[in-house]
A and B are shown apart, each in its own frame.
Chain A
């Protein structure tokens, strides 16, 4: 049968109807095609991002904070990763047993944990920060939902209290807060990086797509500090502060050739690894941040200036009798009575009258210039937070009595580091070297502030001050020639000098034939009866210097015979 010929099927429809349908379909297809082109070709960012978010992840690459090392490469500060445990309070529902275990691991009572988790409105609560990684692993082993861990760093200081004020410390996020940690924060801090990777269904990384930012570990920092000398200085200082029942103290050890600070010891101190009870007095690095009136340790600078101008020679005789000097309403006294002294003996016996008489022959301007040239009145420029500049008033405002008192170190204030640096001028033939907290390979250029001859002459006087008829026989070291000067000053309190509060100090260098180290010692308010620089500070100097010279293998330049001390009670008393 021929269907085509069937009259029933022979429908006659107008052709436009099929055409119309064809066009409608074609239009639909065109629409779909256009949409597809739009989504996949022209405006594909959104979908691309959605797709990528299914498999690609950005991972943070942690960076370590640099270590702090001493000059011999011994580690003084190291960061190691620790964990912190945090929780989303609303999602944590631990069982009784889990809670007890968690409490035991975190060293917290279950009630304390519950109290922290009580506020279910919050999305983030730290349970405990800075816990050891092993403990964190065991906490993860408890499988408590809603509890997470974070990677953090904690800084450890193996040398503890000995280097506390030099190094400072970092906060919870490993950012420097004090001391060297703060001063050199930029170099020490690492820069965490990030990279994009592809992860599979199981969460494993299968492909590295790109490195967004390379992680940069912080640089290690080599300090000028020598831990052996620092430790020596600290232990001697601690013993001296205890023996003389002093309030505080400081020791500075300076390398004469390079200007490196080999030790900066402070007392009182603190343990940087456990900073629970901290007070400002413990935190300060008083060798750098605290200033005091130095007293007689400034006399050599006055004498140097007078020698430099050719006004006096070391053997010029100065009349001291009657043992006091009146300038206006004020009178300057000497503790011991001498009829006359040579300039060298003024330093040796530490005569205030002698120093004042020398000073009054000098112009105020030249004295001010000398003090400024050896670094007083300006901060030493170490970059250490809070380093003090000290007080050196402009010479135009000096009255004659002030000029006289300044010659023996009153009416002017300096930090211990400034004092040590100023003495390096005598130690290195009249040159002032820039100081450095960091290890120095090439000695920096020094600036000449006085003639070689002047420095050598003062050095000889300072050596006399340390022998048995000087003010500091206790600064002697067997086998080495030592030069130095004592200082004993009344402390200022509310603008007046306190009668019974002193600062005892000693600054010196050795070996005197070719100085290698300058050491400055300051003991604040010794209150066990003795307060002279020669009895309180000089023995500390001798101990630290002897040890440091031994550590540095400096050959002895003096006779190997026992130290001669004057008989008890006959020591030369310093004028205060």
Chain B
């Protein structure tokens, strides 16, 4: 009887310690999860800002200005255009 009781005490202690450890681990992991989620939010914000920057650089007025003033590009006039129609190439 005494032996059984001692055994149970040992098992109980082991279980209790196990619970403490697993609880601790759960909390650390949760902390990490929180951090990662925060990071994902941060990255989301950064993505938005980068998108904004990209669209600001790609504003058509700016592209057009650079194309015409710096690169001296222009739309070819119709005399220099030749239209190739799909059915004509198929012939």
> Across the interface, which residues of A come within 8 angstroms of B45, CB to CB?
80-81
List residues 25-79 of chain B with CB under 8 A from any CB of chain A: 26-27, 30-31, 34, 44-45, 48-49, 51-52, 54-56, 58-61, 64, 75, 78-79
How far apart are B71's CB and chain A's nearest CB, in angstroms? 18
Contact of A160 (CB < 8 Å), options: B31, B48, B51, B59:
B59
* Cβ-neighbour of A64 out of B48, B49, B81, B85 (below 8 A): B48
Please give the number of chain B residues whose Cβ is less than 8 angstroms from any Cβ of chain A in the complex: 25
A208 contacts the other chain (Cβ, under 8 Å)? yes
Other-chain contact of B27, A79, A207, A227, A479 (Cβ < 8 Å) = A207
Contacts of A74 in B (CB 8 A): 55, 58
Q: How far is it, in angstroms, between the C-alpha of A555 and the C-alpha of B75 when the chains are bound? A: 16
Interface residue from B26, B44, B52, B83 paired with A156 (Cβ < 8 Å): B52
Flag if A555 contacts B30 (CB, 8 Å): no
Chain B residue at minimal CB-CB distance from A162 = B61
5 CB contacts below 8 A, A to B, read A75-B51, A78-B52, A204-B31, A206-B27, A206-B31
Contacts A555-B83, A560-B78, A560-B81; A80 near B49 (Cβ below 8 A):
yes
Question: Which chain A residues (56-96) contact chain B, with CB distance < 8 Å?
Answer: 64, 67, 74-76, 78-81
Interface presence of A192 (CB below 8 A): no
CB distance from A107 to the nearest CB of B (A): 21
Complex-state Cα separation, A206 to B32, whole angstroms: 10
How far is A491 from B81 in the complex, measured between Cα atoms in Å? 42
Q: Are B48 and A78 in contact (CB under 8 A)?
A: yes
In the complex, the answer to whether B61 meets A207 with C-beta atoms within 8 Å is no
Assembly CA distance A562 to B64 (angstroms): 25
Contact B52 A159 (CB under 8 A): no
A235 within 8 A of B: yes
Which residues of the other chain, A, contact B79 by a CB distance below 8 angstroms? 562
Q: Which residues of A contact B55 (CB under 8 A)?
A: 74-76, 78, 158-159
Q: Is A319 an interface residue (CB 8 A)?
A: no
Q: Are B61 and A158 in contact, with the CB atoms below 8 A?
A: no
Q: In residues 153-168 of chain A, which contact B (Cβ within 8 Å)?
A: 156, 158-160, 162
Does A235 lie within 8 Å of B61, measured CB to CB? yes
Docked-complex contact B48 and A80, CB < 8 angstroms = yes
- Report Cα–Cα, A439/B62, bound state, in Å: 25
The residues in A between 215 and 257 inclusive whose CB is less than 8 angstroms from any CB of B are: 227-228, 231, 235
With A227-B60, A556-B83: A80-B30 Cβ-Cβ less than 8 Å: no
B85 lies within 8 A of A555 (CB): yes
> How far, in Å, is B22 (CB) from chain A's closest CB?
13
Is A447 located at the chain interface by the 8 A CB criterion? no
CA distance A272 to B56 in the complex (A): 14
Out of A75, A205, A207, name the residue touching B52 (CB < 8 Å). Answer: A75
Q: Does A550 contact B (CB under 8 A)?
A: yes
The 5 closest A-B pairs by CB, nearest first: A158-B55, A231-B60, A478-B78, A206-B27, A75-B55
Closest to A74 in B: B55
Asked whether, in the complex, the Cβ of A208 is within 8 Å of the Cβ of B30, the reply is: yes
Chain B residues, Cβ within 8 Å of A156? 52
* Alpha-carbon distance A228/B79, docked complex (angstroms): 24
